[in-house]
Structure 1
Amino acid sequence: MSESKEKNEMDESRSGGIQVIARACSVMRVLGSHPRGLSLGAIAQEVGLARSTVQRIVSALESESMVEPIRPGSGFRLGPALAQLIHQTHTDIISIARKSLEEMSEQLNESVTLSCISGQQTNVIDRVIAERELRVVFPMGRSMPMHATADGKALLSTLSDEQILEVLGQSPEKLTDSTHGIQSLLEEMEQIRQSGFAIDNQEHTVGISACSILIPTFMGPHAVAVVAPTSRFEMRANEFRQALEACKASISKLAGEY
């Protein structure tokens, strides 16, 4: 085989490999923006590829646990391996924040979370679950909508209004009667940017509320949240806020600002 022909074949192989990676990334981004999952047909429509091509890509990603089936025949969502990679990426901030999270959870006797931005969603990278009968057990590694969660809104406030519109569009999904529309959310962003503090009053799940504080670090923006049944949240909101401010001060001493 001539040197020129061998080089051409290598270039074609490299180009094909890059295309496969790009397509796989497109599939994962689409699933990231639809945490409840999508069918193969819906994924294909979103990424503009043939269903058979998407099926091959999804099968390869599923074998690596990067995506997982929701139920047989019900579509796919992002898998646990992605959450593990995110967790490993943020190991330093987790080790820095862990003691502060544990102390705040013990002080309040409520569940607390540490989150970061993951694509167009919020991802919980660490949590401490309260040891009491009525509590909120927050899923680790699960992508959550930024517009309807306290930590998501705190993180969303680091973006400009134009960037928020690019991420959410004009009509973010209404999850409960309390979920904000885009105009109301943008107005709320002004207050959050000034205070660094956000509230989710049953905007994601009826009966569950949360408050969160933004923590800029040298590893990027993170958010700590207290998540509780709404019945307790309404009585203790000021107490939660004071605890979050103390937690931020504790973490900032070690994590610095980015």
Structure 2
Amino acid sequence: MSEKYDKGGIQVISRAASILRVLKETQSGMSLGNIAARVSLPRSTVQRITSALAEEGYVITDAHGGGLRLGPELSALAGAAQYNIVEHCRLLLNELTQKTGETTDLAVMRGIGMVFLDQVPGSHRLTTVSKVGEVFPLTTTANGKACLAQLPEDEAAKLITNEWTRNGVTSDVDALLRQLAEIRRTGLAYDLDEHSSGVSAIGFAFTNWGGELHAISVPVPSSRFSGQRRMIEKALLETAVNIQRIFK
């Protein structure tokens, strides 16, 4: 009986891990039915396992009705493992700033926004500055659009609509989806005076070992953006190659 119990316990752990891996792929939440289909388990089994995970804080219900997504307790576990994305990226941010003379930013996609993690200031007298912990929108920033482009189109469309509805914006979702397709093709996303007047930016997205979407971007005062654009694009693409070597 003990051996049978052990096997059952191992099976539950394996199934819970499969569910968490599926949820890792979504930023906006997933329904029980969709999770069940992805992990090839009955919906009732998925419901029992996710209920237990929710009690421990490993999954939570999305506040905007998008189903279940990963919970805060997983972030605490990641912190306990002493994994620090800022430490891994800081050297590359420094190199990028040295190449361009411009400020470089690191952000992570968390739920419905981009959370600012780190910044290396540029050498120009006129630079852009943000605060660690500040949250940026997805649809008007280079880092946000870069991350949206990494998601399945239906999930990206849901996040776009969600953000625009919250902010009373009426715009063309299909047009932005076409822009995301171009970002996937070129590897670079652009903010041309969209988020802040007088500031433009270019960025790219990448996935870390834990499956989280991050972005590195270079914000530039629009007054010198056109003159710096090609050089920044080249430097960012070189940095993207180096990032992929780290997180492959």
Which of the five TM-score ranges fits, normalised by the shorter chain? 0.5 to 0.7
Cα distance change, pair 137–180 in 1 and its aligned pair in 2 (3 A):
farther
Match of 1:139 in 2: 131
Partners of 2:174 and 2:208 lie apart in 1 by 29
- How many Å apart are 1:189 and its aligned residue? 1.0
Contact in 2 for aligned 1:211/1:241 (Cα 8 Å)? yes
SS of corresponding position for 1:138:
coil
In structure 2, the residue matched to 1:68 is none
1:189 aligns with 180
SS at match of 2:139: helix
Distance 2:239 2:218 in 1: 11
- On the 8 A contact 1:154/1:192 being kept in 2, the answer is yes
- Under a length normalisation based on structure 2, what TM-score does the superposition of the two structures give? 0.63
Instruction: Report the 3-state secondary structure (helix = DSSP H, G, I; strand = E; otherwise coil) of the residue aligned with 1:222.
Output: strand
Which residue of the partner structure matches residue 98 of structure 1? 90
Give how far 1:215 is off.
Answer: 2.3
Provide closer, same or farther for how the CA distance between residues 235 and 87 of structure 1 changes in structure 2, counting only shifts above 3 A: farther
Shift of 1:91: 4.4
**Alignment equivalent of 2:220, drawn from 228, 240, 248:** 228
Change (3 A) 1:86 1:166: farther
1:142, 1:255 → 2: CA distance? Answer: 25
Q: State the AA in 1 paired with 2:196.
A: T
Alignment CA distance shift 1:96-1:170 (3 Å): closer
Alignment of 1:1-258 (within 5 A): 88=79, 91-169=83-161, 172=164, 181-220=172-211, 221-256=213-248
For 1:203 and 1:160, the matched residues in 2 are separated by: 23
**Cα deviations by residue, 1:136-158 (Å, 9 ceiling, x for unpaired):** 00221111111100010000011
- Partner of 1:137, secondary structure, is coil
The structure 1 segments of at least 4 consecutive aligned residues displaced by more than 4 Å after TM superposition are 84-91
Aligned residues: 185
Report the Cα distance in structure 2 between the residues aligned to 1:251 and 1:243, rounded to whole angstroms.
12
Deviation at 1:206, TM superposition (A): 0.7
Q: Give the residue type in structure 2 aligned to 1:182.
A: V
Task: Output the CA distance in 1 between the equivalents of 2:173 and 2:77.
Answer: 28
CA contact (8 A) 1:115 1:224 kept: yes
- SS state at 1:147 partner: coil
Q: CA RMSD in A?
A: 3.4
Matched position secondary structure for 2:127: coil
Cα distance between partner residues in 2 of 1:87 and 1:213: 24
What SS does the corresponding residue of 1:117 show, helix, strand or coil? strand
Judge conservation of contact 1:171–1:182 (CA < 8 Å) in 2. no
Distance change >3 Å, CA 233–CA 86, structure 1 → 2: farther
What's the TM-score once normalised by structure 1's chain length? 0.61
**2:143–2:204 Cα contact (<8 Å) kept:** yes
Gaps of 5+ in 2: 1-50, 66-74
Instruction: Provide the rounded CA distance (Å) in 2 between the counterparts of 1:104 and 1:126.
Output: 13
Take 2:118 and 2:199, find their aligned partners in 1: how far apart are those partners? 19
Distance in structure 1 (CA, Å) of the matches to 2:156 and 2:172:
12
Aligned-pair distance for 1:223? 1.4
Query: Conserved in 1, the CA contact under 8 Å of 2:86 and 2:118?
Result: yes
Whether the 8 Å contact between 2:203 and 2:216 is mirrored in structure 1 is yes
